[in-house]
Amino acid sequence: GQQLNQSPQSMFIQEGEDVSMNCTSSSIFNTWLWYKQDPGEGPVLLIALYKAGELTSNGRLTAQFGITRKDSFLNISASIPSDVGIYFCAALQYNFNKFYFGSGTKLNVKP
Amino acid sequence: DTGVSQNPRHKITKRGQNVTFRCDPISEHNRLYWYRQTLGQGPEFLTYFQNEAQLEKSRLLSDRFSAERPKGSFSTLEIQRTEQGDSAMYLCAGLAGGTNEQFFGPGTRLTVL
């Protein structure tokens, strides 16, 4: 099946630093989603992307839908301790019903 | 708050018992998904409903698993004769028509002893 390769697997950063993570695939997708998940909770939708090249912001978060439609990245600027969690990318192919998920990026922020 | 609720939040059961989980999306969610998530992994697709019709089911879903959405509103996921390998977080997600924004419930954590 389709696979989303998400990297890095984990990150340890200092509060105030910027963070970047990405997802790549060999398949083309028409929707990319980015989620944050806290322990014991369901994923929370951060940003949805629908067009190749689209750049969308949500507060300190910015995500882009890659031009090739095979990748996406998420940036977090000026990280704060509450950014700690696991971030997942998800993608959907046109005319298909199944969302694919990356394996997550675990973010740790040192105050 | 996504408006999607799941019950129970936690379930501990003995191997061989049957369990049933419930998902209540908001009324606008004509599409509903079930996922399974194990530690260190992303959610893994189990099945998908459009209104009351179950349109897709993962090959990973054995015949011990069954899901229903009888009136196109709430959904149930039943696991029969549970095995220790069924221990995981079971997540439900809803989507409204015309959007691919998928909103998750808080999940049900299943532990099979």
Measure Cα distances from A53 to A13, A32, A49, A65, B73 in Å: 28, 11, 9, 5, 36
Contact of A54 with chain B, judged by CB distance below 8 Å, is answered with no
Question: Which 3 state secondary structure label does DSSP give A81?
Answer: helix
pLDDT at A3: 84
Q: Do A33 and B48 touch (CB under 8 A)?
A: no
pLDDT at B62: 84
- Contact in structure between B96 and B90 (CB atoms under 8 Å): no
Question: What band does B98 get if pLDDT is binned at 50, 70 and 90?
Answer: confident
Contact list in B for residue A98 (CB cut-off 8 A) is 45, 48, 56
Contact of A98 with chain B, judged by CB distance below 8 Å, is answered with yes
Q: Do A90 and B107 touch (CB under 8 A)?
A: no
Contact list in B for residue A94 (CB cut-off 8 A) is none
Contact list in B for residue A31 (CB cut-off 8 A) is 100
pLDDT in tens, A61-93: 999 999 999 999 999 999 999 999 999 999 998
pLDDT in tens, B7-27: 999 999 999 999 999 999 998
